[in-house]
Structure 1
Amino acid sequence: MAESIEFVPAEYSHKTQPESTAQEMLRCGPADIDRLADAGLPFEVRSGVRHFDVNDLYNLGMYSGRGNTQPELAFRMLFRFAGRPVDDLLREKTWDFKVTLDCVACEGEAPWRFAAPDAARFGGRVAGGQAPQASTGSAHYQAKVTTLGARTPLLSAQLRRLTRDYLDSGYRWQMIPVAMQADYELVHALGATSCIAASLLLAERFRSAGYRAEAKRGWFCGVLGGALDLPHACVEVVDDDGALKTVDIAKAQLAARLSPDTGDFQELCLGSIYNKVIPSTACGNASFGQHECGSRQPVQVRADIRSMQGS
């Protein structure tokens, strides 16, 4: 199992999960953890207890083939919608959107910068959503965000070819720290990929082909009951018809891994929009939030996004 993934390099790794968590996530015992460590699973020993990077544990579980690990069960639940008719993804949907920004090493009162939802870019709307005021420690943002889907498939044969080339390249999707995802050349050199890294690379290839393209961040919503901030990104590109299209390359790749019955959803990811994604103003390798207090520690952004009743 350990040979099947690329572990997070030391410069990006944060080994915060104790061995008890590793056993729970992977549904295994101490002897299994010993074998994984012997096979190369990185760890640090603190107070006599081995600690692991949560991304490494997630990837081990996801590709274990056991069928009962926490990552495998979560993945199947996360993408169960992808095998259903896509019409439900095209209708208007409203979300109760709440975000908490935490400056964990705050150095005093200062303004906040938050990459707010930008649903209007694709026909949606935002109600409320006052920008956070200057403060210390933490800040909050709340709005009602309405999204909708639309079938706007890529028309350009060149854009479709570049997208298909990427999907056929054999990169393996893995859970990767956001800071490492921005280092997309390193990620792909390891044979791995992720939504941010894939979007940054594909946007670069689109631009090299003469198209206006940019990787943009947002939120993937309506999964696991909400209260889950997924580091989502896609490519926004101006197609041959002059319209702005989205290529959700990672979701197409993950859906293909889940089941061959997800073909309609995979096609929707290649140019169209769907109502489970809330776009933001952040570019692909930027943080959702910043606090201008002078702290060098990144702001922690926690999103709680829930479907509103009746939508």
Structure 2
Amino acid sequence: MASSIQFIPAEYSRTDQPESVAREMLRCASEDIDRLVDAGLPFDRREGVRHFDVNDLYTLGMYSNSTRTQPELAFRMLFRFAGRPVDDLLRDKAWEFRVQLECPECDEVAPWHFEAPDVVRFGGRLEGGAAPEPSAGSAAYAATVTTTGARTPLVSTELRRLTHEYLDAGYRWQMIPVAMQADYELVHGLGATSCIAASLLLAERFRTAGYKAEAKRGWFCGVLGGALDLPHACVEVEDDDGRLKTVDIAKAQLAARLSSDTGDFQELCLGSIYNKVIPSTASGNASFGHHACGSPLPAQVRADIRSAR
């Protein structure tokens, strides 16, 4: 298993998870970790304890075929909806959207810039959502976001050809740090893919074919109760009928990987919108937030998105 996975390169790797976390995530013993290390799993040893990159651990778990690792269980739960009738994804859906912004090593009051939810142009609604006030260290954003869905499949034969060409290329979906995902040529050169990297590359191919296209970031909702910031991206492209379409290439790929009965959902991902995604104003390789204090460290943005009752 480990020999077939491209681990996170050193320049993007953060080996900060101790071996106890690795054993828990992978539901394995120390001798199993030994075998993974012998097969190439990168680690650092600090105070006598091996530490690993959480992205490598997630990817190993997803492809372990053990059916019991934390990543396998999480992704199976995540995609339960994809095998159900898609009509439920087309109705209005309200979300309580909360974001905490943190600026490490900051003690200066300065303005915040937050790439807010951008749902109105897709038929959604936004209640609240005042921009964060200038502050030091941290800030918050809160809104009730209503998303909706609509069947608007791609009509361009060229856009569909390019999309299926990507899906058929055999790239392995992996958990990859956001900074590395922006380096989409590196990611695909390793034979891997992820939502941001895939969207950046596909948008480039659409533009090369003469279409107006841009990768855009957002949030995938309803994940493990909501308290999980799951980076997401898709491609917005102007189709031959003049309408703006959304190609959620990574979700189509993951649905095909994780379940055999997700054909309707996979087709929905090729041009349509659905209510489990909140688009933002951020481009595909941009950060969700910025603090103008001058700190050398990037602002951290943590979303908590829960179904509104």
For the superposition of Structure 1 and Structure 2, which TM-score range results when normalised by the shorter chain? over 0.9
Provide the C-alpha distance between the structure 2 equivalents of 1:64 and 1:261, rounded to a whole number of angstroms: 21
Look up the SS of the partner of 1:10 in the other structure.
Answer: coil
Q: Quote the offset at 1:287 in angstroms.
A: 0.4
Deviates more, 1:251-260 or 1:178-187: 251-260
Residue type at the aligned position of 2:118: D
Provide the C-alpha distance between the structure 2 equivalents of 1:259 and 1:35, rounded to a whole number of angstroms: 29
Structure 2 alignment gaps of length 5 or more: none
Which residue does the alignment assign to 2:135?
A: 135
Residue type at the aligned position of 1:51: H
Which residue does the alignment assign to 1:9?
A: 9
| RMSD between aligned residues | 0.6
Look up the SS of the partner of 1:219 in the other structure.
Answer: strand
Mapped contact 1:216–1:282 kept (Cα < 8 A): yes
User: Which whole-Å deviations, capped at 9, do the CAs of 1:282-302 have from their partners, x for residues lacking one?
Assistant: 000000000011111111111
Provide the C-alpha distance between the structure 2 equivalents of 1:165 and 1:104, rounded to a whole number of angstroms: 42
Residue type at the aligned position of 1:30: S
Residue type at the aligned position of 1:187: V
Q: Quote the offset at 1:258 in angstroms.
A: 1.4
Provide the C-alpha distance between the structure 2 equivalents of 1:166 and 1:227, rounded to a whole number of angstroms: 31
Provide the C-alpha distance between the structure 1 equivalents of 2:254 and 2:196, rounded to a whole number of angstroms: 14
Query: How does the TM-score come out when normalised to structure 2?
Result: 0.99
Which residue does the alignment assign to 1:219?
A: 219
User: Which whole-Å deviations, capped at 9, do the CAs of 1:240-275 have from their partners, x for residues lacking one?
Assistant: 011000000000000001122100000000000000
**Alignment of 1:189 onto 2:193:** no
**Alignment of 1:242 onto 2:236:** no
**Alignment of 1:292 onto 2:279:** no
Which residue does the alignment assign to 1:105?
A: 105
Matches within 5 A, 1:128-277: 128-277=128-277
Provide the C-alpha distance between the structure 1 equivalents of 2:75 and 2:260, rounded to a whole number of angstroms: 16
Provide the C-alpha distance between the structure 1 equivalents of 2:290 and 2:92, rounded to a whole number of angstroms: 31
Provide the C-alpha distance between the structure 2 equivalents of 1:74 and 1:227, rounded to a whole number of angstroms: 13
Look up the SS of the partner of 1:236 in the other structure.
Answer: strand
**Alignment of 1:126 onto 2:148:** no
Provide the C-alpha distance between the structure 2 equivalents of 1:33 and 1:107, rounded to a whole number of angstroms: 41
Residue type at the aligned position of 2:68: N
Mapped contact 1:113–1:291 kept (Cα < 8 A): yes
Identity rate, percent: 79
Provide the C-alpha distance between the structure 1 equivalents of 2:60 and 2:266, rounded to a whole number of angstroms: 25
Mapped contact 1:107–1:295 kept (Cα < 8 A): no
Q: Quote the offset at 1:277 in angstroms.
A: 0.3
Provide the C-alpha distance between the structure 2 equivalents of 1:53 and 1:91, rounded to a whole number of angstroms: 39
Q: Quote the offset at 1:38 in angstroms.
A: 1.1
User: Which whole-Å deviations, capped at 9, do the CAs of 1:203-255 have from their partners, x for residues lacking one?
Assistant: 00000000000000000001211111110000000000110000000000000
Which residue does the alignment assign to 2:92?
A: 92
Provide the C-alpha distance between the structure 2 equivalents of 1:298 and 1:26, rounded to a whole number of angstroms: 30
Mapped contact 1:101–1:300 kept (Cα < 8 A): yes
Residue type at the aligned position of 2:96: D
Look up the SS of the partner of 2:179 in the other structure.
Answer: helix
Residue type at the aligned position of 1:11: E
Mapped contact 1:149–1:272 kept (Cα < 8 A): yes
Mapped contact 1:4–1:63 kept (Cα < 8 A): no
Provide the C-alpha distance between the structure 2 equivalents of 1:126 and 1:273, rounded to a whole number of angstroms: 17
Query: Runs in 1 of length 4+ with deviation above 4 angstroms?
Result: none
Which residue does the alignment assign to 1:70?
A: 70
Q: Quote the offset at 1:194 in angstroms.
A: 0.1
Mapped contact 1:18–1:52 kept (Cα < 8 A): yes
Provide the C-alpha distance between the structure 1 equivalents of 2:92 and 2:30, rounded to a whole number of angstroms: 49
Q: Quote the offset at 1:107 in angstroms.
A: 4.6
Which residue does the alignment assign to 1:51?
A: 51
